[in-house]
A and B are shown apart, each in its own frame.
Chain A
Amino acid sequence: MKFVVILSLFFAFSFPVLAAESIKAPHVEISWVAPEKWGIHSAERIGLQFKIDPQWHIYWKNSGDSGAPPKFNFSSDKSVVSQPQWPIPKRIPVGHLVNIGYENSVLFLFQVSPIAGSKVLNLKLSLEWLLCKEECIPGIAEMTLTRPLVTGPSVWIKTNQDKIEAFAKRIPLEETSSWDLTLIEKTEEKLVVDLKAKRDGLTGSEAPDMFPVDGENVNPQAPKVETMDGRFRYTFALPAGRGNPSQFKFLITHGDLAWERELSLQGGAKAVIDDDESVGRVSLVSLLFFAFIGGIILNLMPCVLPVLSIKFLSILKTSIADRRKDALLYLAGVLTTFFALGSVFLVLRSAGASIGWGYQLQSPFIILFLILLFWLMSLNFLGVFEFGESITNWAGNANSASSFTTGILAVFVAAPCTGPFMGTALGAAATLPVAPALGIFLSLGFGLGFPFVLVSFVPKLYKLMPKPGAWMERLKQFLAFPLLGTVIWLTWVLGIQLGSDGWLLSSTLLLLVALALWLGKTPNRVVKGLAVVLMLVAVTAGFISIPKVKMLQVNASTDKVPLSTSYGWVPYDRSAIDQARAQGRSVFVDFTAAWCITCQLNKKAVLEKESVLKMFQDNNVLIMRADWTNQDPVITKALAEYNRNSVPVYLFYDKGAHAQILPQILTIKMIENLFNKKE
C-alpha cells in the first residue's frame, strides 16, 4: 500500500498538469520564445525553450539507444503550426549506451501563421518529454501561448529574436545542392555510405558528422569515418534482425550547418539483369577461357597492334632458335606484368580500395609517362635520333632484354582496350579469392602472348610472313604515325584529368624533349651535355608539376565533367536513376573513361550519332554517363553491382523491372532493338 502511495506521489510530482506559458519541472524550465505582439499576416518562427540542469539531457527525434523524444501535440483552430524543427543534437554517452539529444539549453522551433479573420493567436500544446541523467524523469504538461494580433509587423524583444536566430541556424537546410550521399555497402551488421561535397568551401578536410534519423534501423553510435580523395566514408553499425528498410535517412552536420538526406535502397539498380556473360552462371574454367580468348582479341585492338607489329618485324630477321627464345621472353614479360598488376590490384582490393581494371591509367603520372614513351618511340621510328639503337631496342630489335620489355609494354598499352569477353573475366577477378583471380590475370596474359608464340614456334605459320627487306624500314617509319596518334589521344586524356593545363604541360614537355634530342645530335660536347641536362630537367619538372596542376584544377571547378556534358548526357547519379524509373522512364547508363579506347569508339560510332540520340529522345530515355577517367569509388561500386570492374559497360533499364547489359562493342542496330522489342 505504501508503495502505491509513493507511486501516486511520484506521478503527481513528475507529471505537472498545468496550463501555462512557462513551467518549472524537476531539473528543467520550459518556456515560449515568441513575439510580444503578432502581426496579423505574419508567419513567425517561434521556439519552445528547455533550460536543463547540468548533467541532464532531453532528446532529439531519434533518441538513440534509450530515452524518448519530446512529443508536441498542438491543438489550435485559429492558426497553422508546422512540424517541430529540430536543431543539431549531439551524442551523449550514458553508461554503455549512446543517447542523441541536448544539454543545457535548447529551442525546438515551429512555424506558426494565424488564420485570416482571427483577433488573437491562441496556441494549445500538449507536451510530453523525458529528461534523463542516468535515471529518467518524464513530464507531461499543457502549455498555452496567447498573443494579440496587430496590424503591421510582429513586435519582438531583441534577445528573443536573437535566440530564435541562433537555433534557426542549426536546423537542417532546405537546399539539396550541397551533398551527394551514396550507398557503398549494406550487410546485416553495417551500412557504408559515401558523402561528397557538391560544391567548394563546404568543408575543409574535416569530416561532417552524421546522425541516423531512423533509430529503428541504424545504431546511434558515432560511425567510423574515413577521409578519402574528395569524399568521406561512414560505416554505421546496424542493429541485428531488423529486416530490410527501403531507405535510410541521415542528418549531416558541419559546424552550425545541417542537412537531411535520404538514401534509397530499393527500386534502384538491383533489377533483374540480362547479361549473357553473367558471372553467376559461369564456372571458373569458362572464366579462364574467356580471359584467354579476351587476351587473344586484345592483340587486334588499336592500342596493341603497332607495338606488336614492330615486334613481328624484328623477329623476321632472326633464326628460329632466337625467335623462339624471343617469343618466350616476350610471353614472360607479358605474364610478369599481368602478375604484378594483378597482385597490386589484389593488395589494393584487400585494403578496401575501390578500383578496377585500367586503374593504372587513372593516374596522370602513368599517362604522362606513356605520352613520353610513345613520343620517344615515334621520333625514333622516324629516325630523328638514334641513341645506339637503345630506344629501338625497347620495342624492336631482337635482344633478350627488349623482348621481355616489349611484353611489359604490350600489357601497358593494352589496358585502355577492354575487348569482348574481358569484362566478365575481369569482373570476376574482382570478387574471386586470390588464387583464381590471379589465374584470370595470367590467362589474359597467355591470350595476349599466344599469337606471337604461335607464329614463332610453328614454322608453317612463320613461312606465311613476308620476307625481310627494305620495306621494313618504311613500315617502321609508317608505324610512327599510329604512335603519334596515341600521343594525341593520351594528351587528351591528360587534359581531362588535369584540365587544359595538363595539355599545356604535356605538349611543353614533348617540345623540350624533341629540342634536347635535336641538340644532342651535334658533335659539340658542351651542347651535348646541355641537351642531357635539358632532357632531365624537362622530364623531372614535368612530373613534379602534375600534383600542382591537379590541385589547381580541383580548385577551379569541381563540377567539371567534360565527358558528360554533351548531347544531353547527364552525369551519373544513382538517385536520379531511381527517380526516373519510379516515373516509368527508361534509363541508359554509359560507363566510360577517356583512356578507354573501346569506350570512345562506341561513343563516336554509336552513342553520339544523331539517329541514336533521337531514338533516346523519342523514347524519353534518361541518358547518363558514368565517367571513370579518374578514380571514383561511387562508379567503381556501381560497376561492382553488375560484377564488372572495367569499362565500357552499357546498362539499359527498360520501363519495367528489367535491366540489361549490352555487349562491349555497340552497333546502332543494338540500340534500335532495345526499343523495337518493346513496342
Chain B
Amino acid sequence: MKALVFLSLFVAGCIAFADAVPGNPAPAFETSAADGKTHKLSDYAGKWIVMEWYNKDCPYVKKHYGSNNMQDLQKKYTGKGVVWLSVNSSAEGKEGYTDAKEAMKVAKDTKSNATAVLLDPTGVVGKAYGSKTTPHMFVIDPKGTVVYAGAIDDNNSSDPKVIAKSKNYVAAALDAGMENKKIEITSTKPYGCGTKYAN
C-alpha cells in the first residue's frame, strides 16, 4: 500500500511538473496530514479550495498567524464551504518541520481553522505547485482550475500592523469567484521566507 502511495505521489509529481499556473488544472496530489488521514485533491472535487504554504517558524507566517489574520480568513471562508489546506513542505531537519503529532499541537495552539494541515516533507506537493515561499497561496475553483496563485496580500512588510491597510488577494479572488465574477488579479509574486525543501 505504502509503495502504491509513493508511486502515485511520484506520478502526481511528474504529471504536475509544470507549476500551478492560473488557468491550468490544479496539480493532483495525495499526501498524509496532521490528522493521520490521507488527503487527495480529488476528495474535494466540486469545492473551492485554498492551498496555503505554511512554516510555523517563518516570520511572514507569524505576521499572519500572530495577528489572527490567517485564522480569521480560514474561519470566514470554511464557513462558506471552502476547503482550506495548510501545507507544510519543510523537510526533516529544516526550519518549520513537524511530525503529525507536533503539527496537530501547533494547529491547536495557534487556533488554526484550516480544514487540514498537509504534511509534505518530501516536497512533492510543494514542487508540483511551484511553491516558492511561505505563505504562498493558491485558489482552486470547483472545476479544479487554479484561479489565483501568489502572495496573500499586497504588502510584503513583516510588520503585522500593515495588514489592516493591505489588499488581500486571496479574499478578493474567493469573493469574486464564488459570485461568478471575473477575478481581477490572478497571479502575483509571492513574498515571504523560501519554502524549506530538502537540499
**Are B159 and A128 in contact, CB atoms less than 8 angstroms apart?**
yes
Residue of A nearest to B198 (CB): A95
User: Which residues of chain B are near A71, meaning CB under 8 Å?
Assistant: 157
**Are A68 and B66 in contact, CB atoms less than 8 angstroms apart?**
no
Interface: B62 (CB within 8 A): yes
Q: Scoring A residues 43 to 76 as 1 if CB is less than 8 Å from chain B, else 0, what string do you get? A: 0000000000000000000010111100100000
Q: How many A-B residue pairs have CB under 8 A?
A: 89
User: Which residues of chain A are near B23, meaning CB under 8 Å?
Assistant: 241
Of A3, A68, A128, A216, the residue contacting B110 (CB under 8 A) is: A3
Complex alpha-carbon distance, A138 and B192, angstroms: 10
**Are A97 and B59 in contact, CB atoms less than 8 angstroms apart?**
no
User: Which residues of chain B are near A243, meaning CB under 8 Å?
Assistant: 187
Q: What's the nearest-Cβ distance from chain A to residue B131, in Å?
A: 10
CB-CB under 8 A for A68 and B158, given A14-B59, A241-B23: yes
Of B109, B159, B191, B194, the residue contacting A97 (CB under 8 A) is: B194
Interface: B133 (CB within 8 A): yes
User: Which residues of chain A are near B110, meaning CB under 8 Å?
Assistant: 3
Interface: B186 (CB within 8 A): yes
Complex alpha-carbon distance, A241 and B133, angstroms: 18
User: Which residues of chain B are near A128, meaning CB under 8 Å?
Assistant: 157-159
Complex alpha-carbon distance, A136 and B197, angstroms: 15
The A119-152 residues at the B interface (CB cut-off 8 A) are 128, 130, 132, 134-138, 140
**Are B159 and A134 in contact, CB atoms less than 8 angstroms apart?**
no
Interface: A94 (CB within 8 A): yes
Interface: B72 (CB within 8 A): no
Q: What's the nearest-Cβ distance from chain B to residue A2, in Å?
A: 8
Complex alpha-carbon distance, A95 and B199, angstroms: 6
Complex alpha-carbon distance, A270 and B126, angstroms: 39
**Are A215 and B158 in contact, CB atoms less than 8 angstroms apart?**
no
CB-CB under 8 A for A134 and B157, given A3-B106, A240-B187: no
Interface: A96 (CB within 8 A): yes
Q: What's the nearest-Cβ distance from chain A to residue B168, in Å?
A: 17
Q: What's the nearest-Cβ distance from chain B to residue A116, in Å?
A: 35
Interface: B189 (CB within 8 A): yes
**Are B21 and A241 in contact, CB atoms less than 8 angstroms apart?**
yes
Q: What's the nearest-Cβ distance from chain B to residue A40, in Å?
A: 36
Complex alpha-carbon distance, A3 and B110, angstroms: 8
Interface size on A, residues (CB 8 A): 35
Interface: A4 (CB within 8 A): yes
Interface: A7 (CB within 8 A): yes
**Are A68 and B156 in contact, CB atoms less than 8 angstroms apart?**
yes
Complex alpha-carbon distance, A65 and B134, angstroms: 11
Q: Scoring B residues 175 to 199 as 1 if CB is less than 8 Å from chain A, else 0, what string do you get? A: 0000000000011111111111101
User: Which residues of chain B are near A130, meaning CB under 8 Å?
Assistant: 59, 158
Q: What's the nearest-Cβ distance from chain B to residue A249, in Å?
A: 15
User: Which residues of chain B are near A97, meaning CB under 8 Å?
Assistant: 132, 194
Q: What's the nearest-Cβ distance from chain A to residue B146, in Å?
A: 9
**Are A66 and B187 in contact, CB atoms less than 8 angstroms apart?**
no
User: Which residues of chain A are near B59, meaning CB under 8 Å?
Assistant: 14, 130, 136-138
**Are A134 and B22 in contact, CB atoms less than 8 angstroms apart?**
no
User: Which residues of chain A are near B189, meaning CB under 8 Å?
Assistant: 215-216, 239, 242
Interface size on B, residues (CB 8 A): 35
**Are B193 and A7 in contact, CB atoms less than 8 angstroms apart?**
no
Of A1, A3, A4, A66, the residue contacting B193 (CB under 8 A) is: A66
**Are B194 and A241 in contact, CB atoms less than 8 angstroms apart?**
no
* A interface majority secondary structure: mixed
Residue of A nearest to B56 (CB): A3
**Are B194 and A239 in contact, CB atoms less than 8 angstroms apart?**
no
User: Which residues of chain B are near A567, meaning CB under 8 Å?
Assistant: none
Interface: B99 (CB within 8 A): no
User: Which residues of chain B are near A240, meaning CB under 8 Å?
Assistant: 19, 21-22, 187
User: Which residues of chain B are near A140, meaning CB under 8 Å?
Assistant: 158-159
Complex alpha-carbon distance, A96 and B59, angstroms: 20
Complex alpha-carbon distance, A130 and B186, angstroms: 27
Interface: B143 (CB within 8 A): no
**Are A68 and B62 in contact, CB atoms less than 8 angstroms apart?**
no
Complex alpha-carbon distance, A94 and B199, angstroms: 10
**Are B187 and A239 in contact, CB atoms less than 8 angstroms apart?**
yes
**Are B187 and A241 in contact, CB atoms less than 8 angstroms apart?**
yes
Interface: B35 (CB within 8 A): no
Interface: A11 (CB within 8 A): yes
The A390-425 residues at the B interface (CB cut-off 8 A) are none
**Are A68 and B109 in contact, CB atoms less than 8 angstroms apart?**
no
**Are A66 and B191 in contact, CB atoms less than 8 angstroms apart?**
yes
**Are B22 and A241 in contact, CB atoms less than 8 angstroms apart?**
yes
Residue of B nearest to A62 (CB): B189
CB-CB under 8 A for A135 and B57, given A3-B109, A4-B109, A65-B133: yes
Complex alpha-carbon distance, A527 and B26, angstroms: 85
Interface: B76 (CB within 8 A): no
Of B95, B106, B132, B199, the residue contacting A66 (CB under 8 A) is: B132
Complex alpha-carbon distance, A242 and B188, angstroms: 7
User: Which residues of chain A are near B159, meaning CB under 8 Å?
Assistant: 128, 138, 140
User: Which residues of chain B are near A95, meaning CB under 8 Å?
Assistant: 194-197, 199
Residue of A nearest to B22 (CB): A241
CB-CB under 8 A for A241 and B106, given A11-B66, A95-B199: no
CB within 8 Å of A: which residues of B?
19, 21-23, 57-60, 62, 66, 94-95, 106, 109-110, 132-133, 149, 156-159, 186-197, 199
- A and B contact pairs by CB, cutoff 8 A, 19 listed: A3-B109, A11-B62, A14-B59, A65-B194, A66-B191, A94-B194, A95-B194, A95-B197, A128-B158, A130-B158, A132-B193, A134-B94, A138-B60, A138-B158, A215-B189, A216-B188, A240-B187, A241-B21, A241-B23
Known contacts A95-B197, A138-B59, A242-B188; 16 additional CB pairs below 8 A are A7-B66, A11-B62, A65-B132, A66-B192, A67-B194, A68-B156, A71-B157, A95-B199, A96-B194, A130-B158, A135-B57, A135-B196, A136-B59, A138-B159, A140-B159, A240-B22
CB within 8 Å of B: which residues of A?
1-4, 7, 10-11, 14, 63, 65-68, 71, 94-97, 99, 128, 130, 132, 134-138, 140, 215-216, 239-243
Closest 3 CB pairs of A and B: A138-B158, A241-B187, A240-B21
